[in-house]
Structure 1
Amino acid sequence: MKNIVTLCLLCIIFITACAEKKLETFGDASVSIFEDVHLHFDMAFKENPAKGNDGILRLDAGRVIVKKVKLPTYQKQAKATINLTLTSNGDPWDKSGSMFIIPKTSNLTLVDFETGKFDLTTLNETYPVVSTYQKDSILHEPNVELLRFMTPFGVGYFTNDERVKSRKPVYIPHWESDVKWSQDITHLLPLLEDEIYVGVFIDTWTKEGYKLTATLNFEESNIPNHSKKKQTVVPLVNTAKYASGQRLYDEFSRSDLEVNFDMPETFKNAKLYYITTGHGGHAKGDEFVKKENKISLDGKEIKAFIPWRDDCSSFRRFNPTSATWKASEFYDDVDDCEKIASSDLSRSNWCPGSDILPEIIPLNNLSKGKHTLTISIPEAQTAKQGEDNYWMVSAYIIYDNE
């Protein structure tokens, strides 16, 4: 009898202990970041980037919008998805775009640069916000991209315009009314909690600009005691033009981009996420010519590839204002009657209307201490009068903590 009582007590203790370990649930959640927001260029924002009633900061003369949002903090594993819907509000061109977050660990951010809290010129750097900057107690970490995208030509605003009817190819049923992108960003969950700044950049130069809606969706695991994976995200570099005091990045034509970083612990199951797109709208610019990207870590090449998209014609329905020409101007042995649109042309890792997926490069286990990431695009061209050439690249490392 005594043994039975003892056994029962042990069972109660075990059940109680299991109950105590049960993780708190938060449930699925959808967080609205921006809702039908008008992003456009206006020099009035240069003088007054302050928040309006919508809580949005408009930086770089309105081409960057930033908002602080409150996100759920999960104890159980969750899936995170970023969703962005965009329409033209009168801008007929294809433009580079980026949705990003400002790391909370960075105590110097583009918000400080734009609102006058910190003078970029004191850094004595041509591109001061591209990579990690540490001086005394000041730490700047580059923005981490949630989504790289390219706006299509005039989607939505010009969809029913009489002037574009004749441009519609017979193989598409209609021009689309908007473009939608969705990407799984669960790997960035360590950054997606509590209050954070979320922003969008579009390289527009018109007062018409674009309208966009963005949400972050979370789906919590329904598996009991499915603990959240413990990981760390290390921001390394981001050459997108978020700050008004920064030029489009054409430095690859002159030198490699080196980023030094110091890790306080040994990496476990580390991966490098690398996003790259080439730009330059003239005929032989970096947008339209294949250029090899080389990535090295501590002097050893870990990835070399040519970022390229040759499926751009599949996005034709999103591009009502794309210019068209005789296909014979681009290809040999093509009938003179056949036409090709600008949006159909192959490009350096993007199409008008596409999003861009990161290259994921396994790094396995890396030792504690100092490391150097080197990015090289040896045939990149210099920007010059009338011929922009630049590369938007960003990279961050993710590793397991256990």
Structure 2
Amino acid sequence: MKNKMLMFSAITLLLVSCKRHENVESEKISLSKNATLALATTPAAAPNTFKVFDQILFYDGYAATVTTPVPAGIIRVSNAKYVKKLTATDLSKLSNSLDIKVSITPYCDNYDRIGFVGLSFIPKNTAFSESIGKHIEVGRFITPFMDKNKTPSLVPYLFSTDNVANLLRDGNWRSTYDIYVVFSVFGVPYTANTEIAGCSGHNETAYGTVEFINKSGGTDPATVVQMVPIANNKQLDNYTASNTDQIGTSKKTYTVNLTSAITDAKLYLITSAHGANSGGEEYNRRDHNIYFDNVLKLTYKPGGKSCEPYRQYNTQANFIYGAFPRSTADWAASSNWCPGDAIPTRVINLGNLAAGNHSFRIDVPTAVFNQKQGNILHSVYVQGR
């Protein structure tokens, strides 16, 4: 994500407590709880808490896929992506209220990178493939600038995903699909090879763990859960024909086909702007307009908070923080996200939807994509009953 050593914008790292961000709720939208790191206590382990991935090792995302062995049950899709099928035993452990915790330990990548956790629903008894089935992103995060030889050396992120629990507990989905957890961290070791002691010649980038944490207090839907993917890790820009409705505009429209009506439908939306070049999109906060069936459902501007609390986790020297603290206003002027933080999942209420074709559109009208670089990475799906 960042191929330059110098970056002159505001973004950065990680949490001071493993507590979740407060939900922001309104008639149309609520931000899902995305917790970031914790200096102090982490949630107490529930009886049915289990790890899907345990310190899995990621490699150079641009290099040929390595052939080193993987733990039983895990499939290496690429150097930057693994999948693992949830067993019947795993699924039986799930309550109707679920957190997904991700923990990242740096190895030989000392820059901020994009990572995510997702789900893939593959027709029963069919080999895993990214070209079949249904695929959604359920949590995105940005790794910090970290030197593996310094502390802290662990970055946790916590995603509140009760809607995912509802989906995974639904008998219809379990009987129709094999369900895989997807875990991705795209990194490169090239700078660390020369800057970080012990990294010369290494192509390993990071270790990662994904843990499912069950809670009490949730409820199962009274009727069958429905979920329709719309876009999964797609790029929006104004200079690539496949990434925009029209060259020169920063909008992308998707057709959403519902084979049956959906009650209490909600959009689950994740977006983050990227582009580290001069004037790049990750340094410029833009209004994002979200439409469903050509009706404006939400306008929001990512970022706007201080990244100062995460300064201590930037163990790799960089030019974002400098020698002195920056004000919240200074951070908010140019920070879309903080390295080490989770990217918010926005939940947009749609009400009841009839069967048939609908449309979803994301429009960022003032985006520039200077020098035809960068993109707005987005994922969205609709879920209801």
CA contact (8 A) 2:283 2:336 kept: no
The aligned counterpart of 2:375 is 390
Closer, same or farther in 2 for the Cα pair 1:36/1:269, shift >3 Å? same
1:118-133 aligned within 5 A: none
TM-score normalised by length of structure 1: 0.66
The aligned counterpart of 1:40 is 59
Is 1:150 aligned to residue 126 of structure 2? no
CA contact (8 A) 2:139 2:345 kept: no
Closer, same or farther in 2 for the Cα pair 1:140/1:73, shift >3 Å? closer
Q: Distance in 2 between matches of 1:102 and 1:313?
A: 36
Is 1:63 aligned to residue 80 of structure 2? yes
Closer, same or farther in 2 for the Cα pair 1:185/1:317, shift >3 Å? same
> Displacement, 1:208?
2.9
Which has the higher Rg, Structure 1 or Structure 2? Answer: 1
Q: Distance in 1 between matches of 2:100 and 2:52?
A: 10
TM-score normalised by length of structure 2: 0.69
Count of residue pairs the alignment pairs up: 308
- Structure 2 gaps, min length 5: 1-45, 190-202
CA contact (8 A) 1:81 1:182 kept: yes
The residue matched to 2:286 in structure 1 has which SS?
coil
> Displacement, 1:267?
2.5
Which consecutive aligned stretches of 4+ in structure 1 deviate over 4 angstroms post-superposition?
Answer: 42-45, 71-77, 105-109, 226-229, 249-255, 337-341, 344-348
Closer, same or farther in 2 for the Cα pair 1:75/1:154, shift >3 Å? closer
Percentage of identical aligned residues: 22
Closer, same or farther in 2 for the Cα pair 1:255/1:42, shift >3 Å? closer
CA contact (8 A) 1:269 1:399 kept: yes
- Structure 1 gaps, min length 5: 1-26, 119-138, 160-174, 242-246, 328-336
Q: How big is the alpha-carbon RMSD for the aligned residues of Structure 1 and Structure 2?
A: 3.5
Q: Distance in 1 between matches of 2:188 and 2:117?
A: 18
The aligned counterpart of 1:377 is 364
Q: Distance in 2 between matches of 1:108 and 1:94?
A: 36
Q: Compare relative contact order (CA 8 Å, sep 6+) and give the higher one, 1 or 2.
A: 2
> Displacement, 1:340?
6.3
CA contact (8 A) 2:103 2:155 kept: yes
The aligned counterpart of 2:113 is 95
Closer, same or farther in 2 for the Cα pair 1:107/1:364, shift >3 Å? farther
The aligned counterpart of 1:179 is 155
CA contact (8 A) 1:251 1:382 kept: no
1:286-301 aligned within 5 A: 286-301=281-296
CA contact (8 A) 2:284 2:336 kept: no
1:143-198 Cα offsets, whole Å, 9 max, x none, are 3122110001116x132xxxxxxxxxxxxxxx523111112111112442554211
The aligned counterpart of 1:235 is 229
Is 1:82 aligned to residue 95 of structure 2? no
Closer, same or farther in 2 for the Cα pair 1:42/1:355, shift >3 Å? closer
1:108-142 Cα offsets, whole Å, 9 max, x none, are 99x536xxxx7xxxxxxxxxxxxxxxxxxxx653x
Closer, same or farther in 2 for the Cα pair 1:92/1:326, shift >3 Å? closer
Closer, same or farther in 2 for the Cα pair 1:285/1:81, shift >3 Å? same
The aligned counterpart of 1:209 is 205
